[in-house]
């Protein structure tokens, strides 16, 4: 199986030993505590699950700036996006050497992790501008990722972290949430020698379904891990339970047995386009995938990124050998009226726009909200039914 990023074995930061876990939980009750931002909480969940291997905790200022500048930490670890715990106040933890990190997304703010505080530093305005530009390629406050990144504060609290639970993800999504450790184990249990990872924050339409099948065939993979984001999204995005139900129905009917794993991960979407695509590749390698599908406008939002910027970054900015996982580059995929099947548009040079069934996201949402199913060439009817029920419930 493919090695994790940056180490020979996966080193999740979740405390699996029950005695140590109980001792830390008791200790946390008497420690100074800090309420995390949602972004910092999801970073803890990802570290706990092994997705951010080989990090041992949150990054300090110098590593954060270094990662933004050249995608390497000061110790030489390739990493595309800083993994931070940033806050707007530190008065309750200023002199603390060890603190309890509390979960903002669960009622009562239970302890999510325990952290050894190595540094509390303040990002300057120049730091924030530089990091924002490098991560998001824009400083536009209308960009949802830029807005979130700049809203949480300026104080960077860094140090080794031990994770005690997986926030709401394990309880709210018991059939879907998986750690990188669990996915690696499941890939082995399936007997797969090669696995493809497919990222989604949306329901999967016909083109996504066929793209997974095309990628599996092209690289000779045994199966695909459909890996959906379960964390915070921007307003208007379809909630995770609806996406989960739609994807499960599609896989149940339209994929061969033992060819798909339906899983999810606890991370808040960054909408950082190219940089986020590289981060997605890092943690897909950590969960055991050999190939990662990067499609058109991967992890993008609005018009902030070029259609294939998330692919070209792997050619132009990711050094050779920095990652072991391979990227499967996908073009826009659509149903061909000529060929009566879904194709990548680049593979059909003799087609005009009218030869494809193309619908905008806005048009699809309008149809679903009106109780009108998109054409079967675009969306499987069973999937459309689940989405129609959701949209009509929203309108009621």
Q: What are the residue numbers of the active site?
A: 201-202
**Closest to 1 (Cα-Cα) out of 285, 327, 294, 321:** 285
Per the CB < 8 A criterion, the answer to whether 169 and 230 are in contact is yes
**Closest to 331 (Cα-Cα) out of 363, 306, 296:** 296
Looking only at the bridges linking them, the beta strands covering 155-163 and 195-200 are: unpaired
Alpha helices in 3-124, H assignment, sequence order? 18-28, 38-48, 61-70
- Retrieve residue 227's tokens: 């890996």
Mind giving me the DSSP string for 122-173?
Answer: E--HHHHHHHHHHHHS---TTSHHHHHHHHS-SEEEEEEEEE---TTHHHH-
- Retrieve residue 10's tokens: 């996966």
Exposed/middle/buried for residue 122 (C-beta within 10 Å: 0-12, 13-18, 19+): exposed
Per the CB < 8 A criterion, the answer to whether 77 and 121 are in contact is no
Task: Say how far apart CA 142 and CA 73 lie, in whole Å.
Answer: 29
- Retrieve residue 230's tokens: 């379960």
Task: Say how far apart CA 264 and CA 281 lie, in whole Å.
Answer: 15
* Burial annotation 231-245 (CB, 10 A radius, 16+ → b, else e): bbbeeeebebebbbb
- Retrieve residue 357's tokens: 């069934």
């Amino acid at each position: 199986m493919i090695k994790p990023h940056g180490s020979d074995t996966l080193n999740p930061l979740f405390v699996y030993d029950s005695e140590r876990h109980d001792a830390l939980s008791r200790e946390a009750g008497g420690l100074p505590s800090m309420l995390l931002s949602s972004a910092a909480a999801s970073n803890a969940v990802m570290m706990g699950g092994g997705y951010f291997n080989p990090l041992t905790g949150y990054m300090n200022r110098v590593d954060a700036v270094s990662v933004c500048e050249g995608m390497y930490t000061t110790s030489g670890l390739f990493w595309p996006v800083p993994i931070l715990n940033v806050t707007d106040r530190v008065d309750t933890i200023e002199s603390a050497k060890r603190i309890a990190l509390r979960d903002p997304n669960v009622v009562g703010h239970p302890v999510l992790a325990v952290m050894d505080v190595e540094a509390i530093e303040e990002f300057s305005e120049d730091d924030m501008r530089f990091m924002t530009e490098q991560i998001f390629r824009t400083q536009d406050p209308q960009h949802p990722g830029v807005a979130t990144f700049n809203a949480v504060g300026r104080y960077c609290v860094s140090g080794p972290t031990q994770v005690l639970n997986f926030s709401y993800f394990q309880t709210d999504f018991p059939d879907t949430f998986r750690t990188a450790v669990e996915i690696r184990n499941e890939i082995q249990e399936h007997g797969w020698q090669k696995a493809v990872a497919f990222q989604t924050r949306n329901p999967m339409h016909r083109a996504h379904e066929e793209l997974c099948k095309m990628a599996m065939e092209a690289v000779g993979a045994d199966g695909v891990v459909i890996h959906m984001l379960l964390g915070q999204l921007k307003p208007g995005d379809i909630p995770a339970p609806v996406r989960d139900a739609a994807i499960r129905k599609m896989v149940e009917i339209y994929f061969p047995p033992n060819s798909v794993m339906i899983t999810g991960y606890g991370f808040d979407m960054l909408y950082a386009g190219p940089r986020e695509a590289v981060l997605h590749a890092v943690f897909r390698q950590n969960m055991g995938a050999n190939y990662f599908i990067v499609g058109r406008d991967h992890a993008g939002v609005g018009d902030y990124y070029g259609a294939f910027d998330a692919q070209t970054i792997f050619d132009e900015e990711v050094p050779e050998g920095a990652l072991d996982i391979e990227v499967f580059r996908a073009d826009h995929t659509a149903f061909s009226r000529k060929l009566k099947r879904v194709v990548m548009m680049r593979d059909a040079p003799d087609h005009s726009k009218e030869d494809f069934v193309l619908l905008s996201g806005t048009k699809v949402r309008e149809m679903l909200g009106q109780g009108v199913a998109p054409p079967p060439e675009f969306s499987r009817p069973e999937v459309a039914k689940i989405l129609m029920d959701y949209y009509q419930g929203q309108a009621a």
